Structure 1
Amino acid sequence: MSEQHFSRLNNINTGSQKLGRLILQLQRLEREPRSYGAAGVLTPSEIHTIDAIGCDEGVLMSTLASRLGVTKGAVTQLVTRLENKGLVKRTSHPNDSRAVIVSLTEKGKVAYHVHEGLHQTFYDQLSSQLTKEEIAIFEKCVEKLSEILKK
């Protein structure tokens, strides 16, 4: 085996190991509840649900299930938990009696904004350590990785 071939294999293995460690770190983050200010402690699935609702004034339950990539039954359970915590409210659709609209309460909006702030802080830290070109490459890599993982 040539030295160049060995070096290439070593780089692939090192990159693969780093990616594996990153995935493990992300999995750990996805299991741990976190405090969102006055909204209290929320699980990752709860804050992701709030995030999926927060970008609109109100969203149909079916649309929410689609955004989260879960069943309607699963989204109903999540919304019930969030409703019990005072973070979301359900209302009937004005034109379709079978449809339900979910929206954030004031307390839910607090959680949404705290979560958005965490994302902005992360991006600010990244921006302070990388050039614009490196950020563009990073974003392209994340996009490609997401595509691969969807398969």
Structure 2
Amino acid sequence: MKKNPTPLTEHEQQGSRNLGRLIMQLRRLERQPHTFGSAGPLTPSEIHTITAIGTEGNVLMSELASRLGITKGAVTQLIARLEAKELVVRSPHPYDARGIVLSLTALGQEANAAHDRVHLDFYNRLRTQLSAQEIEIFEKCIDKLNHFLQQNH
């Protein structure tokens, strides 16, 4: 017979509720399109695809699917949308006739840079609310949370 888990303390319950609220806020942010530079409104899936391709580009479609943790079919649909918006170009792989290489256009690079600035601006605003010690603890917690989520996904 399983034992009942130890009841959570009020502090632990509050921590659990705060984590739940954070997750809900992040989900809300992830549903809204945003404008990044001259690229116009982009969905979170589109801008994260642009970021995964990166400014160095030359990413294989199959590698991109792996980076994003989605199917090749889903990547194909995303790339078609990004091509239509003139943010990404497909090129044949120079040595493998089956391979398709992706790279960002100048507009895609602009969107990627604007996305980086959004993250940096947000982080800098957050830092003004925290002491040096809190920033250090926050950064360690974010690293641990990311590692935990990667292990449990």
Q: TM-score, normalised by structure 1?
A: 0.89
Cα deviation for residue 143 of structure 1 reads: 2.2
Paired residues for 1:81-100 under 5 Å: 81-100=81-100
Moved more, 132-141 or 74-83: 132-141
Q: Match of 1:47?
A: 47
Query: In the TM superposition, what whole-angstrom CA distance separates every residue of 1:3-26 from its partner, at most 9, and x where no partner exists?
Result: xxx9x7111111111110010000
- Distance (Å, rounded) in 2 between the aligned partners of 1:87 and 1:18: 37
Letter in 2 for 1:73: G
Cα deviation for residue 129 of structure 1 reads: 2.4
Cα deviation for residue 62 of structure 1 reads: 1.1
Paired residues for 1:35-74 under 5 Å: 35-74=35-74
Letter in 2 for 1:69: G
Q: Match of 1:26?
A: 26
Moved more, 85-94 or 55-64: 55-64
Cα deviation for residue 55 of structure 1 reads: 4.2
Moved more, 55-64 or 80-89: 55-64
Letter in 1 for 2:95: N
Unaligned runs of 5+ in 2: 1-6
Q: TM-score, normalised by structure 2?
A: 0.88
Aligned pairs, how many?
Answer: 146
- Distance (Å, rounded) in 2 between the aligned partners of 1:84 and 1:32: 20
Q: Match of 1:3?
A: none
Letter in 1 for 2:28: R
- Distance (Å, rounded) in 2 between the aligned partners of 1:10 and 1:64: 44
Cα deviation for residue 92 of structure 1 reads: 0.5
Moved more, 122-131 or 9-18: 122-131
Q: Is the 8 A contact 2:47 2:115 kept in 1?
A: yes
Quick check: which one's helix share is greater? 1
Q: Match of 1:103?
A: 103
- What secondary structure, in the 3-state scheme, does the structure 1 residue paired with 2:128 have? helix
Q: Is the 8 A contact 2:55 2:104 kept in 1?
A: no
RMSD: 1.8
Q: Is the 8 A contact 2:55 2:109 kept in 1?
A: no
